[in-house]
A and B are shown apart, each in its own frame.
Chain A
Amino acid sequence: MNFSKRISPATDNPVDALVRFEDVKKSYDGINFVVKDLNLTVSRGEFLTMLGPSGSGKTTTLMMLGGFEQPTLGHILLDNRPVERLPPETRNIGFVFQNYALFPHMTVAENVAFPLRYRGITGIAARERVRQALGRVNLEALGDRRPAQLSGGQQQRVALARALVFEPSLVLMDEPLGALDKQLRERMQIEIKQLQTSLGITMVYVTHDQSEALTMSDRIAVFHDGRIQQLADPATLYNEPANRFVASFIGENNSLSCTLLAREGGLAVVRMADGTTLKAAGTNVSGTGTDMSISIRPENISLAGEGVRADLNRFIGKARDVFFLGDHMRLSIEAFGGQLVTARIPARQARHFASGADVVLECGISECRLLEV
């Protein structure tokens, strides 16, 4: 497989750029590159998320930006100055670590006051700043506690307060919500996003949770195997995945192999394994040939209605499994010569299908995307 196709962020305005990675490569062992050829610009005030599976090089990238790892090749510019040789303490970047890294031998207030003393802020001024920072995360009352006496969510807020108290212009977060339960995670996502906008901070945020990325980000960089697979805003990423990896990593997806027959205007005509021809959108795919696939999201497939419409693909399959899930029904269909297709049918359309029954389905042509395998 080859997921290397990359959409380069040529649209960025260099004047606004706060962070630039220029041809950054990183290897720990001198043999394997865990970050390969990274080019990325983060604009001032932007919320940029690095999204990708575990081991894809997100943390490594963040550590290089924070100053804890050195790029093997390439440059990192902060405010148009190369920073590879700057020690972390001089970069003035807020960092929220994966397990918070709160100092266990200090109280919450001491933790938050820690960065202030290195910036010459002491005494009453420092106390005021700490109070303010804890206020922002609703923890005014817990200044005298030790980190071990706090819940996971509270620890998370302290880490946040500590990273923000010295008003850095850039804040990095490495899976900051990974250890929290779902409900709390969703609340914190909103709080962090609000803090970021209201304080005008530039944020580089790492997560492997796609819904988190989609909720919070201005732009998302999808990482896989040490490379950015696609860099785009959440809607584009979801609706127009650049390759099969992105399509399958973001949201649920049916990936069906096919052969490209012809191009008609902006559309592609493909033949499925069983001979069915479908039309698909796919402007960014070049060449013709057999090694192609189309991707269709389950929620874009519905039961065929009355009459034939030119903007819809229609196909037949046999029902395999049917699950009723309250607000929708999941239909597992065997189609195109034995490939399994999952459809997500809204509850109001739901009907019972016996296993093996024929089902006629349709989906919008613009929602079938042709991708290189």
Chain B
Amino acid sequence: MAVADMDRINVFMAVRRAEKPARRAALSLALPLIVFLVVAFVAPILYLLVTAVGNPETRQVLPRTLGALETWDGVSVPDEPVYAALAADLKVAKDNSTAALLGKRLNYEISGMRSRVLAAARMVERLDTGPYKQKFLELNKDWGSPESWAIIKRNGTSLTPYYLLTALDLQQAPNGSVERVQGDQAIFLDVLARTLFVAGLVTLFTLILGYPVAYVLTIAPKAIAGIMMLMVLLPLWTSLLVRTTAWVVLLQSDGVINDVLMALHLTSDRLQLIFTRAGTVIAMTHIQLPFTILPIYSVMRSIPATQLRAARSLGAPPSSAFWRIYAPQTLPGVVAGCLMTFILSLGYYITPALVGGPRDQMVSNFISVYINRDLNWGLAAALGVVLLVVTLAIYLLFLRLVGADKIKLG
């Protein structure tokens, strides 16, 4: 290596060394928050990821069975030792009342498994000695099905792709190959598409409604612009729940909007607005509008007035000056505002829950249902992972195109 290069590297290293205390001091100020966020924010999300692939039930409840299955060829009906191990495991499970847990888990992949496991657990409690195989097959001939055994054996691993596959409408056949879920079981891609669609629609509407507002904000006289700004910021400040409540009231079939429509003779019958997709999109557009307006306004404000003047002095008529000179320069604001609104719209929960109908629920609402009603944490977590991945992908796009330091609060 040339001496000059060595010198340059030495200088570089010396600079790094000299700056080290200052860097450390700066970092140490941010460290408490970083640590806090890692513990109270990142760890819960990581835990969610783990829950989405975690598979503890079979391993915990059927350790002996899984051991015995190791030598099984995967195609024939297993031999007596497997059934004996199963009986021993279920006896312990009955004592620890973990059989229901196992039944619930296996039931996700083999329908009817819940009652089969519980019935078998009750049976083995009464049995003292083998041979067990015959007894199991008498209890339910499906205990002899190699497919069932294949799935049990597969679930002996500590991690499972099952929930993530389900969240994407995929499943693993007993032979291990991944295939598309058919029929009315396949709902989650629909939900994801619906979420993306609603978020896109809301983004589009906020852009159409917000762009002219941002423009007029930049050209209005100070006093009027001040009042307009207040009208944009006040909704932003009002609790999301209050705004959603307002829309619940407004959209009622005997509510104000229907009253107005009837009074104007725009409709003859009261419209169903509450619990509809349209209602959801209207309310979400209302809530997201300031998020789209503010970044556009802040970019528009930085465009010098001379840009339009220059265009016109060079011969461009007003509309051409606007579309060829002004609009392209507002693009960074449009991108920032739209990405922000799209990201936030993806995660909506309250508004679809209160204003939407059953067919308007978004990914967030399904996550909540699987946690609270079905107690299927794995699937809830997997849906969360899907939502998170989509959101973070767009957040990364936002960071690339706009930058985290450009986020402003009104």
Contacts and interface: CB of A to CB of B under 8 A. Distances in A.
19 contacts: A68-B309, A68-B313, A88-B309, A89-B317, A91-B313, A94-B313, A95-B309, A95-B310, A95-B313, A99-B306, A101-B304, A102-B310, A103-B310, A105-B328, A105-B329, A114-B311, A118-B314, A118-B315, A162-B314
B313 A66 contact: yes
Interface residues of B, number: 20
A114 B316 contact: yes
Interface string B279-316: 00000000000000000000000001011011111111
A30 to B, nearest CB: 13
B315 A101 contact: no
Kindly name the residue among B306, B318, B324 whose own CB sees the greatest number of chain A CB atoms within 10 A: B306
Given A118-B315, A166-B315, A101 B328 contact: no
B325 interface: yes
Given A92-B315, A97-B310, A163-B313, 20 more contacts: A66-B309, A67-B313, A68-B309, A68-B313, A87-B317, A89-B314, A89-B317, A95-B313, A99-B304, A101-B306, A101-B307, A102-B310, A103-B311, A103-B325, A103-B329, A105-B328, A118-B315, A118-B320, A119-B315, A163-B314
Contact of B307 (A68, A87, A103): A103
A88 B320 CA distance: 13
A94 B321 CA distance: 16
9 A-B pairs with least C-beta separation: A118-B315, A115-B314, A101-B310, A95-B313, A101-B306, A88-B312, A97-B306, A105-B328, A89-B312
A119 B317 CA distance: 12
B313 A93 contact: yes
A162 B306 CA distance: 14
A104 B306 contact: no
A360 B329 CA distance: 66
A93 B313 CA distance: 6
Contacts of A104: 329
Contacts of A162: 314
Interface of B: 304, 306-307, 309-318, 320-321, 324-325, 328-329, 331
Kindly name the residue among A67, A98, A101 whose own CB sees the greatest number of chain B CB atoms within 10 A: A101
Interface in A252-286: none
A80 to B, nearest CB: 21
Interface string A43-78: 000000000000000000000001110000000000
Contacts of B325: 103
Contact of B313 (A89, A98, A103): A89
B231 to A, nearest CB: 26
Contacts of B304: 99, 101
Given A95-B310, A101-B310, A115 B315 contact: yes
Contacts of A118: 314-317, 320
Contacts of A95: 309-310, 313-314
Contacts of B314: 89, 95, 114-115, 118, 162-163, 166
Contacts of A92: 315
Interface string A82-124: 0000011101111101110111110000000011001100000
Contacts of B328: 105
Contacts of B317: 87, 89, 118
Nearest to B320: A118
A212 to B, nearest CB: 21
Given A118-B314, A119-B315, A97 B309 contact: yes
Nearest to A159: B310
A146 B250 CA distance: 51
Contacts of B309: 66, 68, 88, 95, 97, 101
B312 A87 contact: yes
Nearest to B303: A104
Nearest to A118: B315
Contacts of B312: 67-68, 87-89
Nearest to A97: B306
Contacts of A119: 315
B316 A89 contact: yes
Nearest to B328: A105
A163 B316 CA distance: 13
Contacts of B306: 97-99, 101
